[in-house]
Amino acid sequence: MGPASYKIERSPQKDFEVSHWFDGFGETHRFQIIVNNGGKPKVIYTSRHQDDELTNTIRQSGTYSFITFAQKRDPCIGIFGKVMSFFERILTKPFANNVNVAIYPNMRIKSNQRGVLRGTPKHSSGVDSLWLTTDCSILKELDPLTLEPIGVEYQTALHPLLSGPLSCAHAMSDPITGDVYNYNLNFGRFATYRVFRVSASSGETESLAAIAGAGVEPAYLHSFFITADFVILCVWGARLDHCGFNIFLGWNVLDAINPFDPSKPVRWFVIDRKAGRGVVAEFQSPAAFCFHTVNAWQTVNAEGQIDIVCEYLEYQNLDILYEFYYYEIVSTSKQAVSRKGIDSHAALTKYCLSNIRGKILDRKVGDEIPHAKLVLQIPRAGELPTINPNFSMRESKFLYTVVNRGYSTFMDGILKVDTMNSTTIILGESGWSYSWGGNLHP
């Protein structure tokens, strides 16, 4: 799943172009591997574009009149017109939402709209449902056989407290229970991050913690962490202006993000996901930004307390957000060719959150927030990380990412990172191009 096309033909009128890669029109890909007894394996490939209603609307109007990540806007459109268009789309065109980042199979959702859960898988693959997610609080359901969009759910239908507009594209799931975890971000004088769980067995949605109060700012968070007992939400440095409401005024997320402030530390919140204790610990670390987390796991230290190690790809500023405009990455663009090989580089970073006591956090205003301990940094570690899924929630030796070596205008190599020996090796031939991370099948 990911962004595919970005142009819409409107002949004889001027063609429409999406500005930013994150707003590209989504496409889902499926590879079905069939192994016959005694015969050669056969691979069947299927794909489908997911934004027919959206592209048809744009083809007719010539404008992308919905909230996006970074679409350039016509300054002549008034604020009132933008807001009215937004709510009209929510009510009348739910399928026009561009949900294009991640895909989750067999996520059992029970909402106040449907109420009925799916039972035995209906398809030979064992996949009964497919759900798409993005960085807003909308989920789009696909037919597992045809990949056709068949339904849209808003998080508020899962639980009435999940009323905020933003969420995390990369929800996390427990590899044992199948429970799915995410957060919902609501705006206001103080931001409220509400961490929740969708039960794989019942489909019910439960709120685990509400993170709010002085010093808690709304931010663009694309991923987070999970361990055997905890959810770790990290508020990176992509903070939103004017309590987040500038998203509705500027009509996109990127223009509503404040310039990077190196004086504002990263805030870490540890949430108990087993015993219902809510937020049990809080930490801080130097200012940074992250797109993708890698992994997290628990250990027991010499004092018998729990330590959590969080592994992710860290940037020292927000420049990477502006490097995914199509004019920066499409090979036919003169600007992209002139900038070939010039981009931001992430460092594989590990922090340790020490002495997690498992008690409800009772931190008063003015109390010092403990610092997370930096364990490891490996520079130029690539992006779009993948690990062996068998090592989810425990330490993994190898990590695979994609890198830009300057052989193309985008990603052009696969990097294998040895996290224990701090070494890297390039896999693949020069000149290859990669648009997103690979899948690792153990």
The predicted-structure confidence for 148-185, as pLDDT tens digits, reads as follows 888 888 899 899 999 999 999 999 999 999 999 999 99
Query: Are 302 and 354 a contacting pair, CB within 8 Å?
Result: no
In a domain, 121, yes or no: no
Q: Residue 381: is its pLDDT beyond 50?
A: yes
Lowest mean pLDDT among 232-236, 282-286, 386-390, 424-428: 424-428
Q: What is the pLDDT of residue 118?
A: 47
- Bridge partners for 207 per DSSP: 196
The predicted-structure confidence for 292-329, as pLDDT tens digits, reads as follows 999 999 999 988 899 999 999 999 999 999 888 888 88
> What mean pLDDT is predicted for residues 379-386?
92
Percent of the chain with pLDDT over 90: 43
- Bridge partners for 263 per DSSP: none
Q: What is the pLDDT of residue 85?
A: 43
pLDDT greater at residue 276 or residue 82? 276
In a domain, 18, yes or no: yes
Q: Residue 423: is its pLDDT beyond 80?
A: yes
> What mean pLDDT is predicted for residues 12-28?
87
Lowest mean pLDDT among 115-129, 206-220, 274-288, 386-400: 115-129
Q: What pTM value is reported for the model?
A: 0.88
Q: Give the separation between CA 173 and CA 156, rounded to whole angstroms.
A: 20
Q: What is the pLDDT of residue 86?
A: 44
Instruction: Give residues with Cβ within 8 angstroms of 175, minimum separation 6.
Output: 389, 392, 393
In a domain, 27, yes or no: yes
In a domain, 293, yes or no: no
Q: What is the pLDDT of residue 360?
A: 72
Which of these, 222, 285, 206, lies nearest to 254 by C-alpha position?
Answer: 222
What residues form the annotated binding site?
170, 222, 292
Q: Give the separation between CA 314 and CA 30, rounded to whole angstroms.
A: 31
Q: Residue 410: is its pLDDT beyond 80?
A: no
In a domain, 354, yes or no: no
Backbone torsion region of residue 380, taken as left when φ is above 0, otherwise alpha when ψ lies between -120 and 50, otherwise beta: left
Distance of CA 48 to the CA centre of its chain: 21
In a domain, 10, yes or no: yes
Q: Residue 119: is its pLDDT beyond 80?
A: no
In a domain, 47, yes or no: yes
Q: Residue 120: is its pLDDT beyond 60?
A: no
Domain residues for the domain of 49 are 1-98
Q: Residue 114: is its pLDDT beyond 60?
A: no
* Pair of tokens at residue 69: 């990540």
Q: What is the pLDDT of residue 91?
A: 42
What residues form the annotated binding site for Fe cation?
170, 222, 292
Q: What is the pLDDT of residue 442?
A: 52
Q: Contacts by 144-149 with C-beta closer than 8 Å and gap 24+?
A: 144/105, 146/48, 147/28, 147/30, 147/46, 147/47, 147/48, 147/50, 148/48, 149/50, 149/52, 149/95
Query: What is the number of domains present in the chain?
Result: 1
Q: What is the pLDDT of residue 11?
A: 83
Query: Are 51 and 26 a contacting pair, CB within 8 Å?
Result: yes
In a domain, 296, yes or no: no
Per-residue confidence at 399, pLDDT binned at 50, 70, 90? Answer: very high
